[in-house]
Amino acid sequence: MTTLPITPPSQIITGKARLAGVMGWPVEHSRSPVLHNYWLRRYGVDGAYVPLPTAPEGFEAAVQGLRAAGFKGVNITIPHKEAAYRLADVLDASAQRAEAVNTLVFREDGKILGLSTDGSGFVASLEAGHLPLRPQTRALLLGAGGAARSVAAALQDRGMKVTITNRTLGRAVVLAAALPGTDVLPWSGWEQRLGEFSVLVNTTSLGMAGGPDPLFCPSLTRAAEDMVVADIVYVPLVTPLLAAATRQGLRTVGGLGMLLHQARFGFKAWFGVDPEVDDATQDHVLNSL
């Protein structure tokens, strides 16, 4: 019989480990476990972060069960961000404005704190790429879900003019009403109006591997030559939308930067360390894609 060498674990989990995870439906695309467990090892934290596939009809029960089981909190991804907003007992200012939550913290006093870090993470990823966010610049957002709400609010906070388009017009209208100053375009006509905008952001799951339309690739022929095209999808790293933008010579921003920057807030709340987003962090997550 061949005896295999024993490799010592890179991280020891004890009975005092801090636990967190990511809830979504689906959730297998998420690289949050790769990112957070890398930070846990890097900073020597006794903890673990796990994927938690949760169907919409079981979301509230799952959250309460995780809290009862001693979890410190969870990240929230599609399609639960608005449900998480309704479930939270306490909301930060960004979550109140966006009416969406992507991070839940289970506090010691028994209350659930809801944070919206998508918008600040998205803006940080743009700034890391040295892309200026000039006041009065016009941005077109595809989608009207939780991520769109957070991104739209963050861009407005920097003085940008935001227009929303969504496959279901009613959801775009509701979002625009919640964020005064935003406009709405019908989904059928936004490609013809691209020349009016300096920034295009896909906040939907269109183009995501395993999503509803992984080949999503609208026409960008009417885009201005200085347009920035951003996609919050990061699996694949280069979505069909970003590939089309590159072929047209437009500047692009992938979704990985947003993932990395928005994650810092939850990690600090759950594990007590403010992690650094550096080249080593990015390379580690890139290697998993």
Q: State whether residue 146 is helix, strand or coil.
A: helix
Question: What pLDDT was estimated at residue 44?
Answer: 95
Q: State the amino acid at position 172 in one-letter form.
A: A
Report residues of the chain scoring pLDDT below 50: 1-9
Q: Is there a contact between 19 and 75 (Cβ–Cβ < 8 Å)? A: no
Q: Which two tokens stand for residue 246?
A: 């590159």
Q: Check if 16 is active-site.
A: no
Output the CA–CA distances (angstroms, integers) from residue 149 to 16, 102, 121, in the order listed: 37, 11, 13
User: Which domains are present in the chain?
Assistant: 18-116+259-286 (3.40.50.10860), 119-254 (3.40.50.720)
Question: What pLDDT was estimated at residue 10?
Answer: 55
Q: State whether residue 199 is helix, strand or coil.
A: strand
Q: State whether residue 130 is helix, strand or coil.
A: coil
Question: What pLDDT was estimated at residue 156?
Answer: 93
Question: What pLDDT was estimated at residue 131?
Answer: 81
pTM score, two decimals?
Answer: 0.85
Question: What pLDDT was estimated at residue 270?
Answer: 98
Question: What pLDDT was estimated at residue 98?
Answer: 84
By the 10 Å C-beta count (0-12 exposed, 13-18 middle, 19+ buried), 182 is classed as buried
Determine which one of 72, 81, 111, 161 is catalytic: 81
Q: Is there a contact between 184 and 172 (Cβ–Cβ < 8 Å)? A: yes
CA 118 from centroid of its chain's CA atoms:
5
Question: What pLDDT was estimated at residue 128?
Answer: 86
Helices of type H across the chain: 32-42, 59-68, 81-87, 93-98, 118-128, 146-157, 169-178, 240-247, 256-271, 279-286
- In this structure, the dihedral spanned by the alpha carbons of residues 62, 66, 67 and 68, taken in order and rounded to 10 degrees, is 100
Q: What count of other Cβ atoms lies within 10 Å of the Cβ of residue 60?
A: 15
Output the CA–CA distances (angstroms, integers) from residue 134 to 126, 152, 155, 222, 253, in the order listed: 12, 14, 10, 22, 16
